[in-house]
Amino acid sequence: MEERCPRSTGPQAGPLRKERRTLRVKMVLLGSSGVGKSSLALRFSRDVFRNKSPTVGCAYMTRSVYLGDVTLRFEIWDTAGQEEYHSVTPLYYRGAHAALVVYDVSKLESFIRAQLWLQELEKHYIPGSTVIGLVGNKEDLSQKRQVSTEEGRRLAVNKGLFFTEASALSGHQVNELLLAIANRIKETVDEQQGGLTEWRETSLLDLHQNGSFKPSSSCCPRVRP
């Protein structure tokens, strides 16, 4: 008896492709005024350098990173480093999936202040839910260096933090830093219950695809202490 194949009731479907998920990642940049947080944020979001005046309240930018079958959409909060905004900064880093504490390798005082920022973070973050990094910015100012690479690495090791030195001016190690943070978040935070959540596009943000990244930026309202 001749066997007949079942009759198709619709178009032939190819192999099912796993839908790429887009997950929201809140990342904050913390540190003293003048260490280059805004310049780093701009490098993250647009891969350009621009001298910027001190941030008032905070600034908000975005950048999407593609890792296998998942896209991590970074919502980058650049916080003000001035003392008068210190009391409201926790409003911005509360609930963050990543926090980068930035210091200027050419200014020892900024490194000392970075340790105070780390102490503040320890009061608010839950281990396993936040990736914390220590970043020595302005490594291009090697002739004016006041903080050695070993000092920064030693502090990071003692605190169990991710560490790198970078230059927002030249762009050296900036992309590598973001990708390293993205991989750590994917490996840790995404596995936590109530961790990363799905992102849905809204009309408030204009995202333009550019290679493996989608940059965008905006400003958030000024917050008075």
CA distance 98 to 134: 11
pLDDT at 75 over 70: yes
Q: How many residues does the chain have?
A: 225
Per-residue model confidence (pLDDT) at position 152: 97
pLDDT at 90 over 80: no
Supply the pTM of this predicted model: 0.75
Contact in structure between 191 and 128 (CB atoms under 8 Å): no
Per-residue model confidence (pLDDT) at position 35: 92
DSSP per-residue codes, 46-96:
HS-----PPPSSEEEEEEEEEETTEEEEEEEEEE--SGGGTTTTHHHHTT-
Per-residue model confidence (pLDDT) at position 103: 97
**For residue range 102-142, what is the model confidence (pLDDT) as tens digits?**
999 999 999 999 998 898 888 776 666 789 999 999 999 98
CA distance 102 to 117: 9
Structure tokens at 207: 């995202």
Computed over its alpha carbons, how large is the radius of gyration of the chain? 21
pLDDT level of residue 201 (50, 70, 90 thresholds):
low
What mean pLDDT value characterizes the chain? 76
Share of the chain above pLDDT 90, in %: 37
Per-residue model confidence (pLDDT) at position 165: 97
Per-residue model confidence (pLDDT) at position 82: 45
Per-residue model confidence (pLDDT) at position 147: 97
CA distance 16 to 102: 44
In b/e form, how buried is each residue of 172-209, taking b as 16+ CB within 10 angstroms?
A: ebbbebbeebbebbbebbeeeeeebeebeeeeeeeeee
Average pLDDT over residues 179-185: 92
Give the single-character DSSP code of 218: E
CA distance 86 to 98: 19
Structure tokens at 105: 């390798």
Map out the domains of the chain as residue ranges. Answer: 21-197+209-219
Which of 2-11, 30-39, 137-146 comes out lowest in average pLDDT? 2-11
CA distance 168 to 42: 8
Per-residue model confidence (pLDDT) at position 215: 43
> CA of 130: how far to CAs of 108, 112, 133, 155, in Å?
26, 22, 10, 18
Per-residue model confidence (pLDDT) at position 222: 40
Assign domain 21-197+209-219 one CATH number from 3.40.50.920, 1.10.3470.10, 3.30.420.340, 3.40.50.300.
3.40.50.300
Average pLDDT over residues 133-155: 96
